[in-house]
């Protein structure tokens, strides 16, 4: 599985990024969870609004006394379906996630020797993604979020539903591309010089576009309407490049730059949660996990 391939001839992602920055302003400084906590949050967030996922995450932290046990998710790993399921009220597919969360944590513990993903720090992005995506319930969105948005800070692009929707509209990926395939296609377009902070910022900006405009069908007022609104899908890639080269500078939206990080409300607990990274000997790089991802 290859996520990191050479850049495109025209650096359209970097150019698009500059326009998005001009419209939405720079995202607020990011608050980072340890990788296991970030993985839990990403699993909760699948097809769920951020606020709802955060509420449930905070509920799990409290119920399983994660902060009291210095960031350890051991009690969730050992919990039964009947204990977890009622705690997931408010997110999509609670029954599925009530099975997946404990099982994913159990698999991490049995494969790595502890409930800690810190050993992935020294791994390549491709190997770390492959390892994570063999864990039950972990797909490309969760694996990329775990690597990029946690304290691991790896250079990989996260693509959630809002981001995927905007990427399809703009012709960055084919109209029929699934979310899973889109993660891989978009990661192949990353400019060589981008670092983890750039991929993270780009994800948030594309998420802004998808949420504020595409999801609400606000095509008329969208700053990118010239590219995709009403245009045949196969023409969008070329239109986007032409527009990025030729269009006048974009104007900032009112309130641009005044955003909070998704997990800012948890800021006070972050230091405690992040103590969970215990020192366990890392498994050999590329060591296989047992269960298939879903």
Instruction: Name the site residues for ligand SF4 (rule: CB under 6 A).
Output: 166, 169-170, 209, 213-214, 218-219, 222, 224-225, 228-229
Instruction: Judge whether 162 and 143 are in contact, CB under 8 Å.
Output: no
What stretches of 33-172 adopt beta strand conformation (E)? Answer: none
The per-residue b/e assignment along 148-173, b for 16 or more CB within 10 angstroms, e otherwise, is bbbbbbbbbbbbbbbbbbbbbbbbbb
Closest distance between ligand SF4 and the C-beta of residue 73, in Å?
Answer: 37
Nearer to ligand SF4, 105 or 169 (CB): 169
Closest distance between ligand SF4 and the C-beta of residue 152, in Å?
Answer: 30
Closest distance between ligand SF4 and the C-beta of residue 255, in Å?
Answer: 18
By beta carbon distance, the residue nearest ligand SF4 is: 222
Closest distance between ligand SF4 and the C-beta of residue 286, in Å?
Answer: 38
Nearer to ligand SF4, 237 or 264 (CB): 237
Closest distance between ligand SF4 and the C-beta of residue 189, in Å?
Answer: 17
CA-based nearest residue to 21, from 195, 249, 210, 242: 249
Closest distance between ligand SF4 and the C-beta of residue 160, in Å?
Answer: 15
Structure tokens belonging to residue 165: 């929707």
């Amino acid at each position: 599985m290859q996520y990191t391939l050479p850049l495109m001839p025209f650096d359209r992602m970097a150019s698009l990024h500059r326009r998005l920055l001009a419209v939405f302003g720079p995202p607020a400084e990011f608050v980072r969870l340890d990788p296991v906590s970030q993985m839990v949050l990403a699993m909760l967030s699948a097809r769920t609004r951020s606020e709802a996922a955060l509420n449930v995450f905070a509920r799990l932290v409290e119920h399983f006394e994660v902060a009291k046990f210095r960031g350890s998710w051991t009690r969730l790993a050992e919990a039964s379906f009947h204990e977890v399921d009622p705690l997931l009220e408010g997110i999509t597919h609670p029954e599925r996630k009530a099975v997946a969360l404990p099982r994913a944590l159990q698999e991490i513990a049995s494969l790595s020797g502890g409930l800690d993903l810190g050993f992935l720090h020294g791994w390549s992005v491709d190997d770390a993604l492959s390892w994570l995506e063999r864990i039950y319930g972990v797909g490309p969105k969760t694996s990329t979020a775990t690597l990029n948005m946690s304290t691991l800070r790896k250079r990989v692009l996260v693509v959630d539903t809002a981001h995927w929707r905007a990427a399809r509209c703009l012709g960055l990926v084919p109209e029929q591309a699934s979310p899973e395939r889109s993660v891989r296609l978009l990661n192949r377009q990353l400019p060589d010089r981008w670092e983890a902070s750039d991929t993270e910022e780009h994800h948030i900006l594309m998420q802004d576009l998808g949420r504020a405009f595409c999801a609400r069908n606000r095509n008329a007022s969208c700053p990118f309407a010239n590219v995709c609104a009403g245009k045949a899908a196969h023409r969008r890639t070329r239109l986007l490049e032409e527009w990025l080269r030729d269009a006048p500078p974009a104007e900032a939206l009112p309130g641009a730059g005044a955003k909070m990080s998704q997990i800012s409300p948890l800021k006070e607990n972050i230091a405690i949660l992040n103590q969970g990274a215990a020192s366990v000997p890392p498994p050999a790089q590329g060591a296989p996990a047992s269960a298939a991802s879903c």
